[in-house]
Structure 1
Amino acid sequence: MATTTTDKAQFKVGDETFQTWYQVTGDLHSGKRPLVALHGGPGVPHSYMLAHLDLYTSYNIPVVLYDQLGCGKSTHLREKPKEFWTVDLFMNELSNLLDHIGITEDFDLLGHSWGGMLASSYAALRHPPGLKHLIIADSPASMPLWEETTAALLAEFPEETRETLRRHEEAGTTDSQEYQEAVMEFYKKHVCRLEPWPQEIQESFKGLSEDPTVYHTMNGPSEFTVVGSLKTWSIIDALPNIKSPTLVINGEHDEAQELCVRPFRERIPNAKWAELRGCSHMPFWEGREEYFQLVGDFLGSG
């Protein structure tokens, strides 16, 4: 039976102190290298990442999950200006958490979607010496590539759906039910193809809807309309700096199509790539057995 503990790490930003909620499943001192999993969004709480506890169940790998600042059980900061929400902020939070739980010298990192953007930035720009394996799941190497691929996917939908999206985005009424229903048509094909969605995914999206501050500020109103501060983000030029063995994963029907992930596998010196057939943006739910065998074998490779 897995032992799971939860706590909060104090995270100082300037003169202010915030709380990063986290949970640890397994023993960080068992001799098995722990995996820290970074959720997406930004601002989508950790619940949908709970499937990654399969790595503890099947491989005895300790798994650390946490809610990034601004969402879930961590400190919410609805009043902060857009300048507050930066990639550096979240890299600093990750460093603080690693130090708090005492695993800076020996750990693996897995990032999903925005979490993969964060993880690749952390590996390429901070050069953490204790990082032994990096997994980038369903993530773009740049937001311009993401926009290019999501635009192509959206073009396959009926004109009526696209017109509904355009009309509400132009009118600034993206919180309307009609807009949200049109968005969900896209999500059910390219975010998660299971019907119904697992409860853990539903809980994460409920958390996002309750406080979309970080998502709206850094991304925008939807996965395919990027108007926030991440719009020009790219890690492509820094990818050769990543020295850790890296596994890149995406799904056949993923928002993060092959074009998005290609720079990771081409520019990271020691990278492997796997595309999971029949899956979209959440292969750890849609192709769970294949995904975790792939990840577990990679983490155990050295």
Structure 2
Amino acid sequence: MKYFAVILFLSVFLTGSIPEKIKPGEGFVEVKGGRIWYKVVGKGKGVPLLLIHGGPGSRSCEGIPGYSTLGNDRSIIFYDQLGSGHSDRPTDTTLWQLPRFVDEIDALRKALDLKEINILGSSWGGTVAVEYMVTKKPKGVKSVIFAGPLISTSKWMRDAKILISQLSKPVQDSINKYESLRIYDHKSYMAATDTFNINYLSRKPGARISAPDCAGSGKGNGEIYRYMWGPTEFNATGTLKNFERTPNLREIQEPVLFITGRFDEARPETMYEFQKEIPGSKVEIIENSGHNKIRDNPEQYLAAIRNFLSTK
């Protein structure tokens, strides 16, 4: 869940020009607990796109090079959630609650005067997106894209068990042994976790994305990740351990796309389960890709996003 999520915006204007507040540039928006940083790139006249990064506790900079290529169609808006990246880094754990992260969307919409939006939430960003849709019932949302989303922790954990069972027996044994002992820093367990990540998170770990925006950016925040999620991708022990919004998906009336990698830890089979909850929704599978689709197969991934948004 450490990657990204995307929200799309359309400002209503009479002149046909882009409103001043969403011209390319960067700045800060005040939220409860501090300031969050945002950056706008691109000038296309389509509905602008806001990238909500994954995590919890990750940052947006690694996604900027890839998603910015969509800027010919629309403005792309990135931001770092409170606690990571360029944003302020308070240490108050009472701030690490899902509703407060959801409120960041409203703060950005208000600050940038964004009347109409499309939403794409990737990984943990999908958690923020689905919570926004079902709790806020926001006006002006044109469509929603869920990319490898965490919508149900129980289904996420189920998928993790299935994927672990497909690894070698020594790797399985190591994970099961140290999970039962609650020892997460043993070298054998950490090596097994790396094997899981190489298979299901990013299948091209050596193909690092050139991300100049990460220079000078604050790092991700592992404390938020552990507090809200847990020690590893497949072990939910934090505040999200009982998260469940599958039954609420049917409340979303807007057009929806579920997009995931062929080898994603958010398994394609689970995306089809979610699709059944929303009549008319679609599923797109990115080939040769794990969870980090924008690294593993950026061409197909970005084309799928562009195609879905072309009529929005």
TM-score (norm 1): 0.86
Partner residue, 1:99? 110
Among 30, 36, 44, the alignment partner of 1:10 is 30
CA deviation after TM superposition for structure 1 residue 259, in Å: 3.5
Counterpart contact for 2:25–2:40, Cα < 8 Å: yes
Report the aligned-residue RMSD: 2.3
Superposition map of 1:15-54 within 5 A: 17-27=33-43, 31-50=45-64, 51-54=66-69
Deviations 1:142-177 (A, max 9, x none): 110000011110122223323433454455542455
Partner residue, 2:233? 223
**1:72 is aligned to 2:88:** no
Q: Give the 3-state SS of the residue equivalent to 2:74 in structure 1.
A: coil
Tell me, in whole angstroms, the C-alpha distance in 1 between the residues paired with 2:76 and 2:244: 28
CA deviation after TM superposition for structure 1 residue 68, in Å: 0.8
Tell me, in whole angstroms, the C-alpha distance in 1 between the residues paired with 2:219 and 2:187: 17
CA 1:260 to 1:75, structure 2 compared with 1: closer, same or farther past 3 Å?
Answer: farther
Tell me, in whole angstroms, the C-alpha distance in 2 between the residues paired with 1:175 and 1:99: 43
CA deviation after TM superposition for structure 1 residue 115, in Å: 0.4
CA deviation after TM superposition for structure 1 residue 200, in Å: 5.5
Amino acid at match of 1:207: K
Structure 2, unpaired ranges of 5+? 1-22
Q: Give the 3-state SS of the residue equivalent to 1:267 in structure 2.
A: coil
Deviations 1:35-63 (A, max 9, x none): 1121111111112322211211xx42111
CA deviation after TM superposition for structure 1 residue 97, in Å: 1.3
Superposition map of 1:230-241 within 5 A: 230-241=240-251
**1:207 is aligned to 2:222:** no
Tell me, in whole angstroms, the C-alpha distance in 1 between the residues paired with 2:39 and 2:232: 28
Counterpart contact for 1:141–1:260, Cα < 8 Å: no
Partner residue, 1:115? 125
Query: When you count helix as a share of all residues, which structure comes out higher?
Result: 1
Amino acid at match of 1:55: L
Tell me, in whole angstroms, the C-alpha distance in 2 between the residues paired with 1:11 and 1:242: 26
Amino acid at match of 1:192: S
**1:90 is aligned to 2:104:** no
Deviations 1:239-266 (A, max 9, x none): 1111211111011100001243234311
Amino acid at match of 1:22: Y
Structure 1, unpaired ranges of 5+? none
Amino acid at match of 2:59: P
Amino acid at match of 1:10: E
Tell me, in whole angstroms, the C-alpha distance in 2 between the residues paired with 1:174 and 1:290: 35
Counterpart contact for 1:141–1:263, Cα < 8 Å: no
Tell me, in whole angstroms, the C-alpha distance in 2 between the residues paired with 1:265 and 1:53: 28
CA deviation after TM superposition for structure 1 residue 195, in Å: 4.2
Report the more deviating stretch, 146-155 or 276-285. 276-285
Tell me, in whole angstroms, the C-alpha distance in 2 between the residues paired with 1:207 and 1:159: 35
Count of matched residue positions in the alignment of Structure 1 and Structure 2: 285
Report the more deviating stretch, 145-154 or 236-245. 236-245
Amino acid at match of 1:76: R
Tell me, in whole angstroms, the C-alpha distance in 2 between the residues paired with 1:271 and 1:260: 14
CA 1:293 to 1:234, structure 2 compared with 1: closer, same or farther past 3 Å?
Answer: same
Tell me, in whole angstroms, the C-alpha distance in 2 between the residues paired with 1:31 and 1:157: 46
Deviations 1:70-100 (A, max 9, x none): 211112233x23x542211111111111111
**1:257 is aligned to 2:277:** no
Amino acid at match of 1:74: S
Partner residue, 1:148? 158
CA 1:200 to 1:127, structure 2 compared with 1: closer, same or farther past 3 Å?
Answer: farther
CA 1:70 to 1:178, structure 2 compared with 1: closer, same or farther past 3 Å?
Answer: farther
Superposition map of 1:58-69 within 5 A: 59-69=72-82
Report the more deviating stretch, 223-232 or 285-294. 285-294
